[in-house]
Structure formats: structure tokens, C-alpha cells
A and B are shown apart, each in its own frame.
Chain A
Amino acid sequence: MPEPSTVKLERALLSLAEEVAYPDTPALVPVVTARLAAERRDGIRPPLPGLALWPRRRLVLAVAIALLALLGIAAAARLTIGALEIRVVPSLAPSPTLTPLPEAIGRVVTLEQAREQVRFPLLLPPDLSDPDVVRIVRSPFGDRSVLLAWTDPSLPPVEGTPWTLVLLELAGNEEYLFKLVAGAEEVREVQVGGRLGYWLDAPHELVLDTPTDLQTFAVSGNVLVWDAGEGVTLRMETALPLQEAIALAETLG
């Protein structure tokens, strides 16, 4: 018996679409707008997108944390930037036994393979040679991101590691990389090339959500994360101080 042709199969699928018994679509406008209003009132989220909120957001976060501390609630408040979320967990004490990031994340590829497999142009420091390690990381949402790590001696090494620079270039706008910090004071809002960024200079944990599991890593270096535009978030781990890290970030191309 011959196999049904593709055309006939496609028509059968389209016909099927006409007959799918979907449940009634719920009324969503009242519940979504009520929820947005409640979140604004409770200071969980910024009041409105698109306004000049960024300085206010950290203030709201700090106030929320202070209130939670007064109430004795070890709850988390959050900052998001593209695919990355910074979560404040007051009870957090980063474990010293966790694996550093470049050694266990994703799968090893060449730089050329990485360029072919991601849908955005890789940003590289112009004054360094090719990275010593390149890894492709899959998100749970199908995006491919890239980790690049250098041992170039022109930069100081990140404490306890052989790496002098680690770049994680993340595609997508749904959060799948989480930074857990113990206090809001460990997160500082900055600007990188006119775009929003955050600077963290205390040890913290990094949690990566992959298609199969959650992986947790220890981070001992300074970290700069910023919105690179076009749906790409960059994370730089370095031993450089803030201003030099921003200067390096702004040269990436």
C-alpha cells in the first residue's frame, strides 16, 4: 500500500484543525489587568514599562527587601535583564563545593561552529586572541547561547580559577539564567554603552535552566551583565574593577 502523499497529509491536518474541540477561551482581560494593578500596588514590579524607571526600580527593590527583613520573611525579590534574572535570597550562603562555570556547562565546540549555531553575531574582545574554551548552551526554550573563556595573561585571573575572562552570550528574552545573591546591596545598576546593566562583586551562585535539569555553579569573580540589544544578554566574569570592566565590555564587537 503506497504511503500517503505529503500534500494529502497536510490537507488532512488542516481539516483536523477545523474540528479540534478546544475548551472555551476564558475571559482574560479582567484577571490580567487586575493582576497587573495588584503587582504595581505591592511594588513587586515596576509601575509601567517604557518609562525612566531604572533608578526607581532598585529603590523599590531595596524598600521591599527592608520591609521583608522587618517582617522576618526570607523571601526573594528580583531583577531581570533579558534572559537573566538576579534574585535576592536573604538566606543564601553560596556553597564552596560548586563547580566553576566554564568547566561543566553545555558542550564544547569550535569558535566557527559556535558562530554557525547561534542566530546572533558573537561579540569578542578585539585585543585578545581566540578564546581557549567555547561551549554551546541550550535553553529550555530552544535558544542557543555561547560561553567563551580565556586564559590570556594580559588580564588578571579570576580568583581560584585559570580564567582571566569568561563571557556568556545569551539569546532570548525568557529567563533561564539566574543569579542568586544574598542582598540587594550586592547588585549595582550601571550603564554599558548606554544600555542597562548590573554589577555584582560578591561571591554568588549561578543557576542555569537547561532542557534537562537545573545546574548550579559557584561564581567568585566580579560579574557585569548587560542588555546588548537585539534580544542578546551578555554576562562577563572578570577580576577587573567596575570601570575597567565596563570599558572592556564597550569594546566588544
Chain B
Amino acid sequence: MEGRPLQDPELIELAKDGDHRAYGELIERYREIAFRTAYVITRSAADAEDATQDAFVKAYYALDRFRTRELFRPWLLRIVSNEAKNRLRSSRRREALAVRAAAAAAPGNAGPSPVAAAAARETREALLAALGTLKEDDRMVIGYRYLLGLSEAETAAVLGVRPGTVKSRLSRALDRLRRRLPADLAAADLEAADA
């Protein structure tokens, strides 16, 4: 139908035939999730930008190997995560994943009391700190699944493993994360973080 946005398979076929605007449309469609994936891995905006740029270039040259029955997003994010990991290795960064949470209360809402908000913020910081102490495989599976919001199937595709493997890796990673939370962080506090 004239005027409707093209679906990914249509854009990919056009890009394969040399339509640069079609590939530009794909870049625009996925640049945010791609950049955020790279940022979660590299912890550097500059490295994430370089890795994402390299990934989109590589993905273009790999389009002829892309199988149309796959989904484009996890295929692309796999390339992005590989580029980001390469950059992380080469710059010898060993920082823990410690993404800072921005405290926010939606304007106009009846937000929590200052005491409750401070407690929630403290709990989130503890959660982030615990995430940062996990080994890379655990951080990545939790990061893809929860921080970047990929489905289980997409996480499996990005990691290059079977979906069942994602389930079991997630279970073990969450278990290890839970053990790294401060001893005084009770279930009630996690509910506060959810507020």
C-alpha cells in the first residue's frame, strides 16, 4: 500500500540491490537499540558510537549472508555486540558495568515521599553495583534481557545460543546476582525499587 512504512525484509532486499536510502532507513530504525547495546557493553559513549558505526558498516557488507527467515534486529545486535566487545578488549577496559540510574518522578504524578524516593534510589544503586560485580557472560544475558528489553528468542540470537540455554543462563545469572546483593537488602526493598 502506497505510503506505508516498508517492512525490514523489503528494506533489506532494496539495500541489497544498492538502494542506500533503504539501508539508511534500517539504520534509523535500529540506531537507538544498537547504540544502547554497545553502550551497555563498552560503558563509553565514544566507544559505543564507534562500535555502532562499524557494526552498521559490517552489517551492510554481510547483508548477502543474512537469511530472510531470521529477524533483522537480533542479527544486527549480534554484530553490534561483537564490535563493542572487540573495542572493549582492545582498549583493555575492565570496569564493571555500573550504569547510573537517573532518579525521576513523572511530572504531575503523586510521587513517593522523599524518604521513600531516597530508599528506592539507594536500592537501585545497590542493584547496579551488584550487576557490576558479575562476570561478563552474566552481565550480558541480564543486560540484553532486562536492561535492553530483548525477548528470550532475541537474546538467544544475539548470544548465538539456543533459547533454552538463555533460560538456564538467566536463571544462574539471577541467582548469582541475588547473592551479591547486600545482606540487608530484603524483598521489601526490591519492591520499593520497583515503585
Which of B27, B36, B142, B195 sits near A13, CB closer than 8 Å? B142
CB neighbours of B185 from chain A (8 A): 4
Given contacts A9-B190, A50-B16, A143-B160, contact A174 B56 (CB under 8 A): no
Give residues 40-94 of B contacting A (CB, 8 Å).
Answer: 45, 48-49, 52-53, 56-58, 60-65, 78-79, 82, 85-86, 89
A4, A5, A33, A82: most-surrounded residue (chain B CB, <10 A): A4
Assembled-state Cα–Cα distance A14/B104 (Å)? 15
Give residues 116-160 of B contacting A (CB, 8 Å).
Answer: 123-124, 127-128, 142, 146-149, 159-160
Q: Give min CB distance, A58 to chain B, whole Å.
A: 16
A17 near B147 with CB under 8 A, answer yes
B48 near A141 with CB under 8 A, answer no
Top-7 shortest CB links A-B: A50-B16, A13-B146, A23-B45, A49-B64, A21-B102, A19-B101, A8-B190
Residue A160, interface by CB 8 Å: no
Size category, B interface: 35 or more
A142 near B161 with CB under 8 A, answer yes
Give residues 155-179 of A contacting B (CB, 8 Å).
Answer: 171-174
Residue A31, interface by CB 8 Å: yes
Given contacts A25-B35, A32-B27, A142-B160, contact A49 B184 (CB under 8 A): no
Assembled-state Cα–Cα distance A232/B25 (Å)? 29
Which of A10, A20, A140 sits near B89, CB closer than 8 Å? A140
CB neighbours of A14 from chain B (8 A): 146
A16 near B187 with CB under 8 A, answer no
Which of A15, A29, A142 sits near B193, CB closer than 8 Å? A15
Q: Give min CB distance, B118 to chain A, whole Å.
A: 15
Given contacts A4-B178, A28-B53, A29-B27, contact A11 B194 (CB under 8 A): yes
Given contacts A12-B123, A35-B53, A50-B16, contact A22 B36 (CB under 8 A): yes
A25 near B101 with CB under 8 A, answer no
22 A-B interface contacts by CB (under 8 A): A1-B183, A1-B186, A4-B185, A12-B190, A12-B193, A15-B194, A16-B127, A17-B149, A20-B147, A27-B31, A28-B27, A28-B49, A28-B56, A32-B56, A32-B57, A35-B53, A36-B20, A36-B57, A37-B20, A49-B63, A50-B17, A141-B85
CB neighbours of B149 from chain A (8 A): 17
Residues of A within 8 A of B (CB-CB), count:
51
A28 near B194 with CB under 8 A, answer no
Q: Give the nearest-CB partner of A20 in chain B.
A: B99
Which of A28, A171, A173 sits near B31, CB closer than 8 Å? A28
A45, A141, A231: most-surrounded residue (chain B CB, <10 A): A141
Apart from A4-B178, A20-B101, A22-B35: 4 A-B pairs, beta carbons within 8 A: A16-B193, A20-B147, A119-B161, A141-B160
Which of A17, A21, A142 sits near B100, CB closer than 8 Å? A21
A29 near B162 with CB under 8 A, answer no
Residue B1, interface by CB 8 Å: no
Which of A17, A33, A142, A231 sits near B24, CB closer than 8 Å? A33
CB neighbours of B53 from chain A (8 A): 28, 31-32, 35
Assembled-state Cα–Cα distance A36/B20 (Å)? 9
Residue A129, interface by CB 8 Å: no
Residue A112, interface by CB 8 Å: no
Q: Give min CB distance, A39 to chain B, whole Å.
A: 8
Q: Give min CB distance, B149 to chain A, whole Å.
A: 6
A25 near B32 with CB under 8 A, answer yes
CB neighbours of A15 from chain B (8 A): 124, 193-195
Residue A127, interface by CB 8 Å: no
A9 near B174 with CB under 8 A, answer yes
Assembled-state Cα–Cα distance A39/B159 (Å)? 29
Q: Give the nearest-CB partner of B31 in chain A.
A: A28
B64 near A8 with CB under 8 A, answer no
A45 near B61 with CB under 8 A, answer yes
Assembled-state Cα–Cα distance A32/B39 (Å)? 18
